[in-house]
Amino acid sequence: MKLKAHIGTIIHEAFNRLDISLSSEIQVVPASRVEFGDFQYNGVMKLAKSMGKNPKELALLLASQIDTSGAIAKVEVAGPGFVNIWLNDSWLDGAIGNLFENRFDNFANSLNPETIVVDYSGPNMAKEMHVGHLRSTIIGDSLANLFEFLGHKVIRQNHIGDWGTQFGMLIAYLEEQDSAAYAKLKDLEEFYKLAKTRFDSDTKFANKARDYVVKIQSKDKHCLGLWEKFISISLAHSQEVYDKLGVLLTPKDVRAESFYNDMLPEIISHLEQKNLLTVSDGAKCVFLPEEETPVIVQKRDGGYLYATTDLAALFYRYKTLKADRICYVVDARQSEHFKQVFKVAKLASFVGDETVLEHIAFGTMMDKNGKPFKTRDGGTIKLIELLDEAVSRAKDAIKSKENLKPDELEKLAQTIGIGAVKYADLSVNREANYIFDWDKMLSFEGNTSLYLQYAYARIQSIFSKTQIELNKDKLAIQNELEHRLSILLLSFKEVLLHAAKEATPHTITSYLYDLATLFMQFYESCPILKEGVSPKEQNTRLILAQITADTIAQGLKILGIGVVQRL
RNA sequence: GCGCUCGUAGCUCAGCUGGAUAGAGCACUCGCCUUCUAAGCGAGCGGUCUUAGGUUCGAAUCCUAACGGGCGUACCA
């Protein structure tokens, strides 16, 4: 059910009866205040203007033609031409009954499936994952989940950095240390530092490292072997983080930088053929109109750059993966880069004219004081350590910890702690910088994952106390909270569609928070299992509670967050 | 210098592409547990939406400029 669209259709029909044709789609919005009804349509005023009519008269005319025998119970015209709309309870009975029966089964069928590539996480294999990778990983994964849930074909791509000069240094050091180094690889960060120190202090070693870079590129067997070994160990570190985070990336989603190496000369020659290439200061560049700086695709020394690789990746994703939409979940600081690369890709036809290219940008993660998130001594915080801290803090926050078995507590803390980290990130507008605050994210109050998990657990508790069989044909929505809750539940699908279109997970969290809040009100004022509640009321309220729980669980699942049966 | 982006309550944030009296949470004050989880609910306090113009019936939202913060500005990714 697309609720707003359905109401829009009814209004459209009313316009048809008046022989008024519309140029744009009808936009119905939730009423700004309770006394203005459930929804409102504000388009009359603009329309009246273009028709040279009095808005209030037109609104009244429209209202007289709106069908009030179905979804809409009542229409009122207010102010200069607002059309306020109330929905019909018995119609809601049917719609909720239908939602209860089919739940979210048909959410995936309602639009043309697209092939969507989501490029996210993309850690550099030379180092361990740190907090800088968190947002891309979390946001990207939730978007991939969302697209999948809506029936699209999603191709996750983990564009790991496995190529570049650092790897010469790292494998030279690896070779030198031999077996001892393998042990040290457990701490990649430490290993990198040691190799770097060696590189800076020993020119002989530095030369060897540079030599090894060239050797990897020329596919020297020995060096390639060392390199592969190194990458596989580093990738295992990342996988450990993904597993702990509960993101769905697996080794098969890895499409590393190095994968595109062989395509790079073709990219250059293709650009040449299209007459897009200019040699400037010895470098091969694409100059774009209205852009001050060119996109450099080949350095003076013949080396390629990340723009070249990105073009190759775009080409591959279009040509081989058949992508309709390609989403890059990457730090906002790279917006200039993507803007340019996308332009070049379109100009050079590396992608189709219709291919949607999006940079899903996000801001920097800051600490409580608004400074970049670092350790006390200014170093980067390892992601794995941050996640462990989240679980440990969650453990402390759980009230019932004394009553739980250790493994139960561990599991609960995982769900809560990791969920809190993810939710905190996903619940803010991704474009702005984001303030990471342990206390806030692990609070039960406000817009947090814990609040939603608590609402869910409360509902589970109700169902653990009753065996009543639910009957969707005996729904009888009547009081205000049942009515409002029903409408909110029916809005879920359009919320997801909107979030998918705009790539804004925070619109989902806002919705879920509103839902949980409304449910809490409902819970306080609409008793279910208490004395004096009629079977009919019980049936209705239990069904609403059930759908609420399922909606919270499903919404959180899309965000990559779990629920718990008890708290 | 040029470009991008942000500026909403003391703090952290929403505001659905122009609508009615700008909303939440935290903090602070005050109410509500013999009955489904009080990790909850209700009420109060708190705003010249950075500023100045413009567009129009109507602007936090769109346009222009200024101020302030963040970021980016050709051979790193």
Residue A213 lies in a domain: yes
Domain membership of residue A18 as a residue range: 3-87
Q: Give A375's pLDDT tier (boundaries 50, 70, 90).
A: confident
Which residues from the 33-62 window of protein chain A have CB within 7 angstroms of nucleic acid chain B? 33, 36, 40, 42, 45-46, 49
Nucleotide nearest to A465 (CA to C1'): B36
CA distance A57 to A547: 41
Number of H helices, E strands in chain A: 21, 13
For residue A423, which amino acid is it?
Y
Q: Which of A111, A45, A107, A116 minimizes the C-alpha distance to A78?
A: A45
Residue A110 confidence (pLDDT): 58
Residues of A 378-397 whose CB lies less than 7 Å from any atom of strand B: 397
How far, in Å, is the CA of A82 from the C1' of nucleotide B7?
32
Lowest mean pLDDT among A11-20, A109-118, A552-561: A109-118
Query: What is the average pLDDT across A277-303?
Result: 92
Q: In the predicted model, what is the mean pLDDT of residues A376-405?
A: 89
A122, part of any domain = no
Q: Quick check: A548 CB within 7 A of strand B? A: no
Better pLDDT: A328 or A50 = A328
Domain assignment present for residue A200? The answer is: yes
With beta carbons less than 8 A apart as the criterion, state whether A345 and A203 touch.
no
Average model confidence (pLDDT) across chain A: 93
Residue A125 covered by a domain:
no
Give the pLDDT of residue A370. Answer: 80
Question: According to the model, what pLDDT value does residue A148 have?
Answer: 96
Helix (H, G, I), strand (E, B) or coil at A505: helix
Least confident piece of the model among A171-175, A257-261, A340-344, A488-492: A171-175
Give the closest residue to A485 by CA, choosing from A107, A71, A89: A89
At which of A87, A113, A129 does a domain end? A87
Whether residue A183 is predicted with pLDDT greater than 70 in this model: the reply is no
For strand B, list residues 139-158 of chain A whose Cβ lies within 7 Å of it: none
Section A419-443 average pLDDT: 93
CA of A430 to C1' of B3 (A): 21
Amino acid, single-letter form, for residue A430: R
Whether A288 sits with its Cβ under 7 A from any strand B atom: the answer reads no
Hits for CB < 7 Å against strand B across A residues 399-438: 399-400, 427-429, 431-435, 437
* Residue A34: per-residue pLDDT: 87
The vertex-A300 CA angle with A299 and A301, nearest 5°, equals 90
Q: Which of residues 461-480 of A touch strand B (CB under 7 A)?
A: 461-462, 465
**In the prediction, which pLDDT does A269 show?**
97
Q: What is the per-residue pLDDT for A145?
A: 98
Asked which of A87, A103, A119 is the last residue of a domain, the reply is A87
Q: Is residue A35 part of a domain?
A: yes
Give dist(CA A293, CA A287) in Å, integer. 7
Name the band, by pLDDT with cuts 50, 70 and 90, for residue A63. Answer: very high
What pLDDT is attached to residue A401?
82
pLDDT single digits (tens) A506-557: 999 999 999 999 999 999 999 999 988 999 999 999 999 999 999 999 999 9
A129, part of any domain: no
Instruction: Report if residue A419 sits inside a domain.
Output: no
Contact present, A143 and A105 (Cβ < 8 Å): no
Q: Please state whether strand B lies within 7 Å of residue A284 at its CB atom.
A: no
Mean pLDDT comparison of A203-212, A413-422, A435-444, highest-scoring range: A413-422
Domain count for chain A: 2
A217 beta carbon to strand B: under 7 Å: no
Query: How large is the average pLDDT for residues A297-318?
Result: 96
What share of chain A has pLDDT > 70, as a percent?
Answer: 98
pLDDT at A160 over 60: yes
In a domain, A229, yes or no: yes
Domain boundary among A215, A249, A283: A249
Nucleotides on strand B lying under 7 Å from protein C-beta = 1-6, 12-20, 24-27, 35-42, 57-58, 70-77
Calculate the angstrom distance between C1' of B10 and CA of A510.
24
Instruction: Count other C-beta atoms under 10 Å from residue A16's C-beta.
Output: 12
Confirm whether any atom of chain B, the nucleic acid strand, is less than 7 Å from CB of A532: no
pLDDT at A180: 64
For A231-284, what is each residue's pLDDT tens digit? Answer: 999 999 999 999 999 999 999 999 999 999 999 999 999 999 999 999 999 999
Contact A288, A343 (CB under 8 A): yes
pLDDT at A368: 83
Determine the pLDDT at residue A179: 67
